Structure 1
Amino acid sequence: MLVVLLIASMFCQGLTVVSYGDNFITAFPENLGFFYPLSPWNYLKVTALYDNTTFTVFYKNTQKNLQIQQSGQTMDVLFTDYFGVNKLGSSILSIRVTSDKNITVVSESRRASSIQTNVVQPTVNLGTDYMIPLLDYPGYLESFDLPRLVSTTMKYNSFKLLIINAVDSQNTITVVKQTSTDVQEETFDIDSYQLVQLQTNGSVLRVRSSKEVAVIFTHPCVETADCNCNMVINQILPTKFQGRSFIVPSFFNVAETQLLVLSENSSSLFHNGSQLEATYSELLPFSNLETSQLVNASDRVSLRLVSPGLIVELIPDTMFFACYLLQFYSQNGRAVVIAETDSKDDVRTHKGLLSASEWTAIAGTKYSSTEVTIADRSATIWHPTSKIAVYMLEYMSAKVVFGGPAIPINEKPDLHGCVLVPGAFAVGPDPLNWTKSLEFCVNNGNQFACPVSKAVLEDMADNLTTEDGTGWIGLRRSLLTTEWYWQGEYEPSVSYVHWDDGQPLDFSKGLCASMSLDPKKDFKWRSARCCEKKKPVCYKRPACLNPSQTWFLKYIP
Structure 2
Amino acid sequence: MLSKGHLFSAVLLLVLKGATKSRCAEAQISSGFNFLVIYPENIAYFYPEEPHNQLHVTALLDNTEVTVVIREQIHTETLAAAQTRRFFIYGDAELGREGVSDKVLRVNSTRQVTVHAVSIKAGSIQSARVLPVDRLGTEYLVPPVPQIQGTTQPADMVSPNVTEYTPFRLIVVNAEKVNTVNLEGEGNNTREVELEPYHATQFRVDGDKAWRVVRAKHPVAVLFGHPCASTLNCSCSMLYATLSPKPNDKMTFLVPPPLSQDSEDQTAVLLSQDSLVDSSYPGWPLLELSSIAILYRPGLLLPLIPQSELASCYVVNAIPDVHNFAIILVHKDLTAGVRVGGAPPKDLTWRALAGTNYVSTVVNFSLDNNIIWHTSDKMAVYYMGEKGNATFGNPALAVSQISDYRGCVLSPEVLEIGSEALAWKESVKFCRERNLHLVTLSSSALLNQVEAKVRQESTRDGIPRRAWIGLRRSTLTNAWYWINRAPLTVSNWQGANPEGSDGGQCGTISLEMGQDYGWSRENCCLDVHPICYREPHLFPMQ
The CA deviation string for residues 464-489 of structure 1, in whole angstroms up to 9 with x for no partner, is: x977852126799xxxxxxxx9x999
How far is the alpha carbon of 1:205 from its aligned partner? 1.3
Kept in 1, the 8 Å contact 2:438–2:469? The answer is no
For 2:195, the equivalent position in structure 1 comes to 190
How far is the alpha carbon of 1:169 from its aligned partner? 2.3
One-letter amino acid of the structure 2 residue matched with residue 281 of structure 1: D
For 1:99, the equivalent position in structure 2 comes to 109
Work out whether 1:380 is the aligned partner of 2:377. no
Work out whether 1:200 is the aligned partner of 2:209. no
Work out whether 1:259 is the aligned partner of 2:251. no
One-letter amino acid of the structure 2 residue matched with residue 457 of structure 1: V
**Which whole-Å CA distance do the structure 2 matches of 1:93 and 1:544 have between them?**
36
Classify 1:490/1:308 alpha carbon distance in 2 versus 1 (closer, same or farther; 3 Å).
Answer: farther
For 2:170, the equivalent position in structure 1 comes to 161
Work out whether 1:58 is the aligned partner of 2:69. yes
For 1:358, the equivalent position in structure 2 comes to 349
One-letter amino acid of the structure 2 residue matched with residue 224 of structure 1: T
Which SS does the other structure have where 1:239 is aligned?
A: coil
Classify 1:525/1:532 alpha carbon distance in 2 versus 1 (closer, same or farther; 3 Å).
Answer: farther
Which SS does the other structure have where 1:352 is aligned?
A: coil
For 2:3, the equivalent position in structure 1 comes to none
One-letter amino acid of the structure 2 residue matched with residue 409 of structure 1: V
One-letter amino acid of the structure 1 residue matched with residue 68 of structure 2: V
Query: After the TM superposition, which residues 291-302 of structure 1 pair with which residues of structure 2 at under 5 Å, given as runs?
Result: 294-297=285-288, 299-302=289-292
**Which whole-Å CA distance do the structure 1 matches of 2:291 and 2:82 have between them?**
34
Q: Which moved more, 1:530-539 or 1:157-166?
A: 530-539
One-letter amino acid of the structure 1 residue matched with residue 34 of structure 2: N
Kept in 1, the 8 Å contact 2:464–2:529? The answer is no
**Which whole-Å CA distance do the structure 1 matches of 2:76 and 2:280 have between them?**
46
**Which whole-Å CA distance do the structure 2 matches of 1:35 and 1:187 have between them?**
30
Gaps of 5+ in 2: 1-18, 474-481
Work out whether 1:115 is the aligned partner of 2:111. no
Kept in 2, the 8 Å contact 1:68–1:75? The answer is no
Kept in 2, the 8 Å contact 1:333–1:377? The answer is no
Classify 1:380/1:243 alpha carbon distance in 2 versus 1 (closer, same or farther; 3 Å).
Answer: farther
Kept in 2, the 8 Å contact 1:134–1:282? The answer is yes
**Which whole-Å CA distance do the structure 1 matches of 2:489 and 2:96 have between them?**
58
Aligned counterpart in structure 1 of residue 275 of structure 2, from 252, 277, 282: 282
One-letter amino acid of the structure 2 residue matched with residue 107 of structure 1: A
Kept in 2, the 8 Å contact 1:49–1:72? The answer is yes
**Which whole-Å CA distance do the structure 2 matches of 1:490 and 1:46 have between them?**
39
Work out whether 1:349 is the aligned partner of 2:340. yes
Classify 1:547/1:156 alpha carbon distance in 2 versus 1 (closer, same or farther; 3 Å).
Answer: farther
Work out whether 1:418 is the aligned partner of 2:418. no
How far is the alpha carbon of 1:396 from its aligned partner? 0.9
Aligned counterpart in structure 1 of residue 182 of structure 2, from 146, 163, 174: 174
Which SS does the other structure have where 1:345 is aligned?
A: helix
Work out whether 1:210 is the aligned partner of 2:204. no
How far is the alpha carbon of 1:363 from its aligned partner? 3.6
How far is the alpha carbon of 1:491 from its aligned partner? 13
For 1:132, the equivalent position in structure 2 comes to 142
Gaps of 5+ in 1: 1-8, 264-279, 477-484, 549-557
For 1:47, the equivalent position in structure 2 comes to 58
How far is the alpha carbon of 1:92 from its aligned partner? 0.6
One-letter amino acid of the structure 1 residue matched with residue 190 of structure 2: E
Work out whether 1:338 is the aligned partner of 2:338. no
Aligned counterpart in structure 1 of residue 245 of structure 2, from 235, 238, 249: 238
Classify 1:433/1:90 alpha carbon distance in 2 versus 1 (closer, same or farther; 3 Å).
Answer: closer
Kept in 2, the 8 Å contact 1:33–1:114? The answer is no
**Which whole-Å CA distance do the structure 2 matches of 1:219 and 1:492 have between them?**
60
How far is the alpha carbon of 1:526 from its aligned partner? 2.7
One-letter amino acid of the structure 1 residue matched with residue 315 of structure 2: L
One-letter amino acid of the structure 2 residue matched with residue 283 of structure 1: L
One-letter amino acid of the structure 1 residue matched with residue 77 of structure 2: Q
Kept in 1, the 8 Å contact 2:509–2:520? The answer is no
**Which whole-Å CA distance do the structure 2 matches of 1:46 and 1:491 have between them?**
41
Kept in 1, the 8 Å contact 2:52–2:121? The answer is yes
One-letter amino acid of the structure 1 residue matched with residue 35 of structure 2: F
Which SS does the other structure have where 1:107 is aligned?
A: strand
One-letter amino acid of the structure 1 residue matched with residue 173 of structure 2: I
Work out whether 1:226 is the aligned partner of 2:233. yes
**Which whole-Å CA distance do the structure 2 matches of 1:377 and 1:243 have between them?**
38
**Which whole-Å CA distance do the structure 2 matches of 1:287 and 1:445 have between them?**
57
**Which whole-Å CA distance do the structure 2 matches of 1:99 and 1:523 have between them?**
49
How far is the alpha carbon of 1:390 from its aligned partner? 1.6
Kept in 2, the 8 Å contact 1:261–1:301? The answer is no
Classify 1:261/1:32 alpha carbon distance in 2 versus 1 (closer, same or farther; 3 Å).
Answer: closer
> Identity rate of aligned residues, in percent?
27
Kept in 2, the 8 Å contact 1:339–1:387? The answer is no
How far is the alpha carbon of 1:327 from its aligned partner? 1.2
Work out whether 1:528 is the aligned partner of 2:520. yes
Work out whether 1:87 is the aligned partner of 2:97. yes
One-letter amino acid of the structure 2 residue matched with residue 232 of structure 1: L
**Which whole-Å CA distance do the structure 2 matches of 1:415 and 1:332 have between them?**
30
Classify 1:328/1:287 alpha carbon distance in 2 versus 1 (closer, same or farther; 3 Å).
Answer: farther
Which SS does the other structure have where 1:357 is aligned?
A: coil
How far is the alpha carbon of 1:431 from its aligned partner? 1.2
Kept in 1, the 8 Å contact 2:151–2:164? The answer is no
For 1:471, the equivalent position in structure 2 comes to 468
Which SS does the other structure have where 1:525 is aligned?
A: coil
Kept in 2, the 8 Å contact 1:513–1:525? The answer is no
More strand by share: 1
**Which whole-Å CA distance do the structure 2 matches of 1:504 and 1:14 have between them?**
48
| CA RMSD across the alignment | 4.3
Query: After the TM superposition, which residues 13-52 of structure 1 pair with which residues of structure 2 at under 5 Å, given as runs?
Result: 14-17=24-27, 18-32=29-43, 37-52=48-63
Q: Give me the TM-score of the superposition, normalised by structure 1.
A: 0.76
One-letter amino acid of the structure 1 residue matched with residue 204 of structure 2: Q
Work out whether 1:448 is the aligned partner of 2:440. yes
Kept in 1, the 8 Å contact 2:36–2:105? The answer is yes
Classify 1:457/1:102 alpha carbon distance in 2 versus 1 (closer, same or farther; 3 Å).
Answer: same
| Structure of greater relative contact order (alpha carbons < 8 Å, 6+ residues apart) | 2
**Which whole-Å CA distance do the structure 1 matches of 2:497 and 2:331 have between them?**
38
Which SS does the other structure have where 2:143 is aligned?
A: coil
One-letter amino acid of the structure 2 residue matched with residue 237 of structure 1: S
**Which whole-Å CA distance do the structure 2 matches of 1:382 and 1:14 have between them?**
20
**Which whole-Å CA distance do the structure 2 matches of 1:392 and 1:250 have between them?**
15
